[in-house]
């Protein structure tokens, strides 16, 4: 972006860490980074102009607090109101054009994030893994809230993995690669030039979900943004029943305010999408079936594959 200083450099380290989380879920994804600068709407529109399948965003405005209305925001700041409304329209246009849009839900008890609350986006909260039992728990640092700007909208839709609250070290941490000497490199635990940064917020979770979406679209590129969201929420999330969000909402069986549908399950999302592919395969003409096999869209059904699928099914029961 013209408004971004040193667009080829990541002096903070945040974008590099988030890119690593995309590749952790989808190592073959093609990434087109866009540095925001001081023009969020312009950066988002520039990203849309690249014709992506997915846009993941680990930023936002904490403006959707309880009792807030659009008129309240307009009365406080006409400039902010105009920016938010322009962002609202840009997101709606992107999703209408088939782009899946992910936003981090926000962090801390004051993280009432917009555009995470926009109804068309996938709002991503946070879950961390406890050691040594590897059970899942809602992050006490991740936001959860009922939107005041959009009636009936609840954030998050589902969650990605985050670190635990770093104020209570030792704690389960999420370490991601960052440029040496960047701000997150020098401010995290460990050496100031070890090229690792400490991430604990929903910024880290959103690109994970975006990576999982990339896996889904790789197998079934006919999915619309609303299809993707429904499949993630209804079929590809692990239930989380422990912990509380930053707002004090408790996780529990089924959908809940703290974690939405739960923790995104990359393997199950792939299985769900593969089911779509297999259905298309069996309905296709012989010529189309050959092309699907040549495109590596359909896996070889051998004993190892079947056993792996059976283990996956057992883990979901």
Q: Note the pLDDT of residue 277.
A: 67
Q: What is the pTM of this model?
A: 0.87
Query: Residue 19's Cα: distance from chain center in Å?
Result: 12
Residues 190-219, mean pLDDT to the nearest whole number: 88
pLDDT tens for 218-259 read 888 889 999 999 999 998 999 999 999 999 999 999 999 999
Rounded CA separation 259/159 (Å):
6
Tokens of 172: 């389960």
Q: Note the pLDDT of residue 158.
A: 98
**Cβ neighbours of residue 187 closer than 8 Å, sequence gap 6 or more:** 197, 198
pLDDT tens for 104-159 read 999 989 999 999 999 999 999 999 988 778 899 999 999 999 999 999 999 999 99
DSSP 291-308: HHHHTT-S----HHHHHH
Model confidence at 170: pLDDT above 60: no
Of the two residues 4 and 152, the one the predictor is more confident about is 152
Q: Note the pLDDT of residue 211.
A: 97
All domains in the chain, ordered by first residue = 14-266 (3.40.50.200)
Q: Note the pLDDT of residue 312.
A: 65
**Cβ neighbours of residue 79 closer than 8 Å, sequence gap 6 or more:** none
Pick the range with the lowest mean pLDDT from 24-38, 63-77, 164-178. Answer: 164-178
């Amino acid at each position: 972006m013209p408004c971004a200083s040193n667009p080829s450099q990541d002096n903070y380290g945040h974008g590099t860490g988030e890119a690593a989380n995309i590749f952790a879920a989808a190592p073959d994804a093609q990434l087109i980074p866009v540095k925001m600068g001081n023009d969020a709407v312009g950066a988002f529109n520039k990203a849309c102009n690249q014709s992506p399948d997915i846009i993941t965003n680990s930023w936002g405005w904490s403006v959707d607090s309880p009792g807030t209305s659009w008129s309240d925001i307009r009365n406080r700041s006409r400039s902010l109101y105009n920016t938010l409304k322009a962002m609202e329209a840009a997101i709606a246009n992107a999703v209408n054009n088939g782009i899946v849009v992910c936003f981090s839900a926000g962090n801390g008890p004051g993280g009432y994030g917009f555009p995470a609350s926009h109804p068309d986006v996938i709002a991503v909260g946070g879950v961390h893994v406890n050691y040594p039992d590897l059970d899942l728990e809602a992050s006490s640092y991740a936001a959860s809230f009922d939107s005041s700007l959009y009636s009936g909208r609840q954030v998050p839709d589902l969650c990605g993995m985050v670190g635990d609250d770093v104020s209570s070290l030792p704690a389960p941490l999420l370490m991601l690669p960052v440029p040496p000497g960047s701000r997150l490199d020098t401010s995290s635990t460990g050496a100031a030039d070890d090229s690792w940064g400490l991430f604990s917020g929903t910024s880290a979770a959103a690109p994970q979900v975006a990576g999982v979406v990339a896996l889904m679209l790789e197998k079934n590129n006919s999915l619309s943004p609303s299809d993707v969201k429904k499949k993630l929420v209804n079929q590809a999330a692990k239930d989380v029943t422990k912990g509380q969000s930053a707002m004090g909402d408790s996780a529990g069986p089924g959908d809940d305010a703290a974690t939405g549908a739960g923790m995104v399950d990359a393997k199950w999302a792939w299985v769900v999408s593969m089911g779509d592919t297999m259905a298309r395969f069996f309905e296709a003409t012989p010529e189309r079936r050959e092309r699907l096999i040549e495109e590596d869209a359909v896996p070889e059904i051998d004993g190892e594959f079947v056993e792996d699928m059976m283990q996956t099914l057992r883990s979901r029961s």
